[in-house]
Amino acid sequence: MCRKHSGALFPQNASFSIANFSPPITSHPTYKTYASSPNTERGFCSTCGSVLVFHDKRDTDTIQINLGAFDEDVLCGKRDEAGAWEDEYGRHVPRIGGWGKELCYPGYHIFSENEIPGVTDDFEGLKYLTDKESGKAFRGKVRDLKKQE
């Protein structure tokens, strides 16, 4: 479901405290949600359809924001036009700042039983088979975990 919702092989979200939003994301007139399962909802922009958040209603303190919802300057940094150069591959513009490396580091992966061998099975970080609350984390590949059982 996450792949279909995000359009990505492996959706990336960053978790934030709901208390840190000012004004609350739910107060924006184009923000809408739909229940994707009994305990979760997904937020999106009703004007353009952009995927914005994933929220597990059992966790009332945090919300997960899809990294694709952040502006380019926030993720990659501001364009440094003065430091740009050209070569046989075209024009290159370096970036200054940006939070991408901090926000995009995979701290853990959930629903790893849905990994795609050769594509998503080598990601770093802790892995959980269903969700973080359902069991112990492991490292490695699901197929190797199943051999140990």
Question: Does residue 123 belong to any structural domain of this protein?
Answer: no
Q: What pLDDT does residue 146 have?
A: 66
- What DSSP line would sit under 63-103, residue for residue? EEEEGGGS-HHHHH-EE-GGG-EEETTEEE--EE--SHHHH
Question: Does residue 56 belong to any structural domain of this protein?
Answer: yes
Question: Does residue 14 belong to any structural domain of this protein?
Answer: yes
- Judge if pTM exceeds 0.85: no
Question: Does residue 48 belong to any structural domain of this protein?
Answer: yes
How many domains, the chain?
1
Q: What pLDDT does residue 10 have?
A: 67
Q: Helix, strand, or coil here: 109?
A: strand
Return the CA Rg of the chain: 18
Question: Does residue 125 belong to any structural domain of this protein?
Answer: no
- What DSSP line would sit under 33-71, residue for residue? EEEEETTEEEEEETTT--EEEEEETT-TTEEEEEGGGS-
Q: Which are the contacts of 110, defined by CB distance < 8 A and separation ≥ 6?
A: 127, 128, 130, 131, 132
Question: Does residue 23 belong to any structural domain of this protein?
Answer: yes
Q: Under a CB-based contact definition with an 8 Å cutoff, are residues 129 and 111 in contact?
A: yes
Q: What is the residue range of 7's domain?
A: 1-69
Question: Does residue 92 belong to any structural domain of this protein?
Answer: no
Written as tens digits, the pLDDT of the chain (149 aa) is 666 777 776 677 888 888 888 898 889 999 999 998 899 899 999 999 888 998 888 888 888 888 888 888 988 899 999 999 999 999 999 999 988 777 766 677 777 777 777 777 777 788 888 777 777 888 888 877 766 55
Q: What pLDDT does residue 121 have?
A: 74
Q: What pLDDT does residue 102 have?
A: 75
Place of tokens 């923000």: 31
Question: Does residue 27 belong to any structural domain of this protein?
Answer: yes
Q: Which CATH number characterizes residue 57's domain?
A: 2.170.150.70
